[in-house]
Amino acid sequence: KPSSNKVVVAVQHLSVQDEQGLNALVDVSFEIHAGEILGVAGVDGNGQRELADALTGLCRVHKGFVVLHGIDITNQSVRERYAQNVSYIPQDRQTTGLILGFSVEENLILNQAYLTEYSQYGVLDTTGIRSHARQLIEQFDIRAQNSGASVSTLSGGNQQKVVFARELARDPDFLVAFNPARGIDIQATNAIHRRLLERRKAGAGILLLSTELDEVLALSDRVAVMFNGRLVDIVPSGTSRQVIGKMMVG
């Protein structure tokens, strides 16, 4: 049960079209409260990516609204949403989450390089960036030669930790997490899950999209089931796997 009745995000009749102009998301509506994880269950490719991209400003909304803390952010840019404390762990760390040619420390400030603690008058403050990176490397147990190493030299699991650390270190009010523990070992998975639950306890609203039903059931307060771009239903987290599984295949 969410820790408050305060609505962090309200999604109203949201529709998104794909590159071919076909409906990828159709008339989706839900709310996420402060201190709540809303999990999304569905077979991969049923509109989850479009939902995540629409909420974080990466794709255009065809119809409907996204409202954050009572403010309509439907047409805001990614940076405008970041300024309002929205974070995104994307499904594909290598194409969307990281710039592989950049160092670990550069990737850890990708979305905030313009902030005064990392740059002054357009010049990057390497000392500030390095100390920030060292802090996160230790905190999130990122295994890298050093903070200046290219992020492409890291294992997939450690690349995932870089994305996770960058997005979580901002203490977001609203977090969209897509397969947050993808390709990492059980110990690191447990650490990531623990941090998501801590963020929830701190009052964040979290949308968890995962192709692992176990992950959704373990972490979510409520589960939204998606099929064919539509929201089939939102059920309590205690709902049986069988029931959710049937809904996932229509």
Strand partners, 177: 89, 208
Q: Write down the H helix ranges in the chain.
A: 48-56, 78-83, 104-107, 126-139, 156-168, 186-201, 213-219, 241-248
Q: In what order do the strands lie in the sheet with 63-68?
A: 23-33, 7-17, 63-68, 71-72
pLDDT averaged over every residue in the chain: 93
Name which of 98, 86, 97, 219 is nearest 152 in CA terms. 98
Is residue 14 scored above 70 in pLDDT? yes
- Structure confidence by residue, pLDDT tens digits, 72-106: 999 999 999 999 999 999 998 988 899 999 999 99
Distance CA(227)–CA(46), nearest Å, equals: 5
For tokens 């077979």, the residue is 43
Neighbours of 9 (CB within 10 A): 24
For residue 121, the model assigns a pLDDT of 83
Is residue 3 scored above 80 in pLDDT? no
**Arithmetic mean of pLDDT, 39-43:** 96
- The secondary structure of 201-233 as a DSSP string is HTT-EEEEE-S-HHHHHHH-SEEEEEETTEEEE
Global pTM reads 0.94
First to last CA, the chain: 27
The SS3 call for residue 34 is coil
Strand partners, 88: 176
Beta pairing class for 63-68 and 71-72 = antiparallel
Ranking 20-24, 49-53, 66-70, 203-207 by mean pLDDT, the lowest is 20-24
